[in-house]
Chain A
Amino acid sequence: MSGGRAATGRWELAAAWAFVLGTGTAAWALAAAALPLPAYYLPPPTAVLGALAELVVKGILPLYVAESLRRILLAALVALGVGVPLGLLLGMSRRLADFAYPLLNFFQSVSGIAWLPLMLVWFGFGERTILVAVNYTVFFPVIFNAMLGVRSVPRLYVDALRTLGASRGRIVRDVLVPGALPAIATGMRLGLAYGWRALIAAEMLVGAHGLGFMIFSAQAFHLTARIMLGMGIIGLLWVVLDYVLLRPLEEATIARWGLVQR
């Protein structure tokens, strides 16, 4: 495809996009005005904009966004700093990996939200419960995939380096860790996807600030415009995080270090 055609394609797409968003919003406004429903069932788009302005002016929205982002970022850092090295270590020993596999598989398949009731008994309604639930949810897919990543490196590469006289440290640095990178990126993406949703759920249930708390508490007062605003922001934040950071990272690691054998 020539550059010119690609450019027209992009303009066409942008125009189509504007059209779809425009008609969608118009249809929504029309439905909100025409349907014989109580106003709180389907507030018009203007009410959502109004809620946005109100919450920004009051400073609530920036605060809640910052709170939610701080929590998920902390979980991401813990998973990167502790989960990845631990997973790599486990993966390097066949015996340890065999032992850890069923356990990690079990713990990663139970979401952090299922542990939340137990955390409530242990820590009560508060920040600590939210953090434990979210960290748990991100941590296990990351450590599990890091371990699988090391295990999936073909023996051939390890043997090749060993034959050439490489030390154990050299093999870890040049073969095992780079070979595990695509799996680590996949694990981070999956873990954070689950973690973001677990965070929203935990904020609803525990109720200590954050976007989940914002939309859940709005429900009690029938502030539906506020709910829709919160949902829009929750979705947008994830789309940005996923498409700007996580997906490119995953694709880059697979392109650079992917060991798919053909």
Chain B
Amino acid sequence: MRAATVLRGTLPFAVLVGAWALVAGAGAVPAMFLPPPADVARVAWELARDGALALHVAASLARVLVAVAVSVPLAVALGVLVALHRRLAAVAEPIVAFFNALSGIAWLPLAVTWFGLGWASVTFIMFNTVFFLVFFNTLVGVRLVPRLFEHAVLTLGGSRRHVILHVLLPGALPSIVTGLRLSLGFGWRALIAAEMIATSTGLGFLIYNAANFHQSDTILVGIVTIGVLWLLTDRLVLQPLERRTIERWGLVAAGS
């Protein structure tokens, strides 16, 4: 049973790599444009052995982690605070929606103007992307919590603090987790683009720099790494998180 699942997941990739080896091996395409899989594997091994790949992966991941660690708590706290005042929330929502539309790479020129090329600019872009998406989803999530629950807790003598901690925050959690998923999806893509322009470390830099030297093999190693890292994040962090929040705090049954 388990073996069948593994086979179903890997067989398509085996077929793809086989087709790639055939096309590259037939000599119809110059190796500079499409290096055979064996060459790419060799370059991957070299990059892994001399630590370059680990360095670039660590740089990219560190930027994601710093941005998430700083902006998620801030965005959730601010989102709940603004959502407490329903009128304020109604005014704030379109403004935050606008900044969401802008999130990501469009901030790069301004970031470079303010912070110069380097670490600060890239982190600023990531911060922006994560912050506004999580903020927006917290805001929407809190507003979607039925007022009935709020009134119930108040009627039972609960304080404002009780309402926030036991009603609004848990009720908004599924929406917050959705915001986190979206922000990581957009943020990860923005990061790769920003690293191409503004830094000299990270996976984005690795592949863009390789393009200057026409090293298609290095580029392919980078692309595969980027894809695998995202799939791992999705499988190991986001999906379990979503499953747990929706099972535990999802308001599906109460709403319908």
The interface of chain A, by Cβ under 8 A from chain B, is 12-13, 16-17, 20, 40-41, 98-103, 105-107, 109-111, 113-118, 120-122, 193-194, 197-198, 200-201, 204-205, 212, 215-216, 218-219, 222, 224, 227-228, 230-231, 234-236, 238-239, 242-243, 262
Q: Are A121 and B32 in contact (CB under 8 A)?
A: yes
Interface pairs (22), CB distance under 8 Å: A17-B94, A106-B13, A107-B227, A110-B226, A110-B227, A114-B192, A114-B207, A114-B223, A118-B219, A121-B214, A193-B186, A197-B105, A197-B106, A198-B189, A201-B190, A204-B108, A205-B196, A205-B208, A215-B106, A227-B113, A238-B101, A242-B101
Kindly name the residue among B10, B98, B113, B211 whose own CB sees the greatest number of chain A CB atoms within 10 A.
Answer: B113
Q: Which of A103, A224, A235 has a CB less than 8 Å from the CB of B101?
A: A235
CB nearest neighbor in A for B213: A121
Q: Are B109 and A216 in contact (CB under 8 A)?
A: yes
Q: Are B227 and A20 in contact (CB under 8 A)?
A: no
Q: Are A105 and B102 in contact (CB under 8 A)?
A: no
Q: Are A201 and B105 in contact (CB under 8 A)?
A: yes
Give CA–CA (A194, B230) in the complex, Å.
15
For the complex, is B145 an interface residue (Cβ under 8 Å from A)? no
Q: Which of B8, B97, B105 has a CB less than 8 Å from the CB of A200?
A: B105
Q: Which of B33, B108, B208, B231 has a CB less than 8 Å from the CB of A117?
A: B208
Give CA–CA (A34, B11) in the complex, Å.
64
Give CA–CA (A159, B110) in the complex, Å.
57
Q: Which of A114, A193, A224 has a CB less than 8 Å from the CB of B113?
A: A224
Give CA–CA (A251, B22) in the complex, Å.
45
Shortest beta-carbon distance, B237 to chain A, in Å?
14
Q: A117-B208, A204-B105 are in contact. List 8 more A-B contacts (CB 8 A).
A: A102-B10, A111-B192, A116-B208, A117-B207, A121-B32, A219-B109, A219-B110, A239-B98
* Residues on the B chain within 8 Å of A235, using CB: 98-99, 101-102, 106
Q: Are A234 and B193 in contact (CB under 8 A)?
A: no
For the complex, is B171 an interface residue (Cβ under 8 Å from A)? no
In the A-B complex, the 3 residue pairs with the smallest Cβ-Cβ separation, listed nearest first, are A117-B211, A235-B102, A201-B193
* Residues on the B chain within 8 Å of A216, using CB: 108-109
Shortest beta-carbon distance, B232 to chain A, in Å?
10
* Residues on the A chain within 8 Å of B11, using CB: 99
Q: Are A200 and B91 in contact (CB under 8 A)?
A: no
* Residues on the B chain within 8 Å of A239, using CB: 97-98, 101
Give CA–CA (A106, B230) in the complex, Å.
9
CB nearest neighbor in B for A243: B97
Give CA–CA (A262, B253) in the complex, Å.
9
For the complex, is B55 an interface residue (Cβ under 8 Å from A)? no
CB nearest neighbor in B for A196: B101
Kindly name the residue among A20, A118, A215, A243 whose own CB sees the greatest number of chain B CB atoms within 10 A.
Answer: A118
Give CA–CA (A219, B97) in the complex, Å.
25
Shortest beta-carbon distance, A200 to chain B, in Å?
5
Q: Are A197 and B186 in contact (CB under 8 A)?
A: yes
* Residues on the A chain within 8 Å of B208, using CB: 116-117, 205
Shortest beta-carbon distance, A1 to chain B, in Å?
13
* Residues on the B chain within 8 Å of A110, using CB: 223, 226-227, 230
* Residues on the A chain within 8 Å of B112, using CB: 219
Shortest beta-carbon distance, A217 to chain B, in Å?
9
Shortest beta-carbon distance, B107 to chain A, in Å?
7
Shortest beta-carbon distance, A194 to chain B, in Å?
7
Give CA–CA (A243, B93) in the complex, Å.
13
A16-B91, A219-B112 are known contacts. Are A118 and B102 too (CB-CB below 8 A)?
no
Considering only residues 1-53 of chain B, those with a C-beta below 8 Å from chain A are 8-13, 15-16, 32-33
Give CA–CA (A205, B189) in the complex, Å.
14
Give CA–CA (A201, B226) in the complex, Å.
17
Give CA–CA (A115, B207) in the complex, Å.
9
Q: Which of A12, A218, A242 has a CB less than 8 Å from the CB of B109?
A: A218
* Residues on the A chain within 8 Å of B211, using CB: 117-118, 120-121
* Residues on the B chain within 8 Å of A200, using CB: 104-106
Shortest beta-carbon distance, B145 to chain A, in Å?
19
